[in-house]
Amino acid sequence: MMGSVRALGRHQSRLKHLFASSTGISANGGGGGGQCRGGENLMAVAEVSTSAWLEQQTNPPKGSIRPRSFMRPEMVSPRLDVPRHISRPPYVGAAEPPVMAEVIQIQDEAGVAGMRAAGRLASLIRDFVGSLVRPGVTTDEIDKAAHEAIIDSGAYPSLLGFGGFPKSVSTSINECICSGIPNLRALKKGDIVNIDVNIYFNGYHAETSETYICGVVDKSVKQFVEVARDCLDTAIAICGPGVEFREIGAIITDIADGCNYHVVEHVIGHGVGSLFHSAPAIYHHCEHFSFVYLWTLNSKQLNISGQFLSPELYNDI
């Protein structure tokens, strides 16, 4: 991990400089869509926009992704400490995680600035730990590097202690959809690694994740990731005041179905702010709700094994 420590050191001055005057938000970003590429199928799962996942609708053809064995528990190292001077969210130490709050948080100018700072910090830390993904590295090492970066920046890792979660980030590998616990298993060439970074910074939560490819992967895996990203980018591009939530799920479903994938319907997106999870709930499949965007939101990006979220803000909110 010496290389990781040196890399982290190079990031610290940039982190401190950016967040002394930060004004970004942990919410939605923009982007463009794309077309389905090729015709390969695969056996895997990928997350798109705010927590939606794609899965294959048909059996993979011969020569596609090899079916893997069932996931099994791995060895997990002890929980890491957080210095006492760092503020904790209210749920830390509670026996059960809080239920998703029904309140919709409407942020004033100060709230938007606070979310912007938290989101920008989280995204920098995400990019740093993502650079550590390579064969032979364990997700436990990635978690330790993330933990150090978070607390050195004066933030608290929001996942740590949330309902007993024992680590500072979530790492989900291959078929694991989300919320994987970092462990002592070494990454292998061809693994698809999602890292979910959540922080609590000056009273505001930010959540961001991204999927990384470890070494060389099959062409069909790359296609799968690209389709998931197309779903995300296209859905984000339509977001704005007056847009109905159901339009998000509809456009994601259209793209996924057109490429022979399916949106996993039992996972939803959520609001973020001073609360870790709050209304509104964002569905990523076709629904009939007609609420509109009038508040800041979390937007998760593609994942093949976890969660993937991009912290940004609509310029016109």
How does pLDDT run across 211-264, given as a tens digit for each residue? 888 998 888 888 887 888 888 889 889 988 899 888 988 999 999 899 988 887
Lowest mean pLDDT: which of 85-94, 214-223, 300-309?
300-309
Query: Mean pLDDT throughout 11-32?
Result: 35
Q: Which residue has the higher pLDDT, 268 or 249?
A: 249
| CATH entry 3.40.50.300 includes domain 24-59+100-317 | no
Contact 214, 202 (CB under 8 A): no
Domain range list for the chain? 24-59+100-317
**Does residue 124 surpass a pLDDT of 80?**
yes
d(CA 25, CA 20): 14
Quote the tokens at residue 242. 């007056």
Which band of pLDDT confidence, cut at 50, 70 and 90, is reported for residue 68? low
d(CA 129, CA 122): 11
Q: Which residue has the higher pLDDT, 44 or 163?
A: 163
**Cα 244 versus chain centre, distance:** 23
Q: Model pTM?
A: 0.71
Nearest to 269, CA basis, from 53, 50, 46: 50
Contact 253, 231 (CB under 8 A): no
**Does residue 56 surpass a pLDDT of 50?**
no
d(CA 294, CA 172): 32
Lowest mean pLDDT: which of 16-20, 85-89, 92-96?
16-20
Cβ–Cβ contacts within 10 Å for residue 280, how many? 20
Calculated CA dihedral for residues 279, 146, 47, 225, nearest 10 degrees: 150
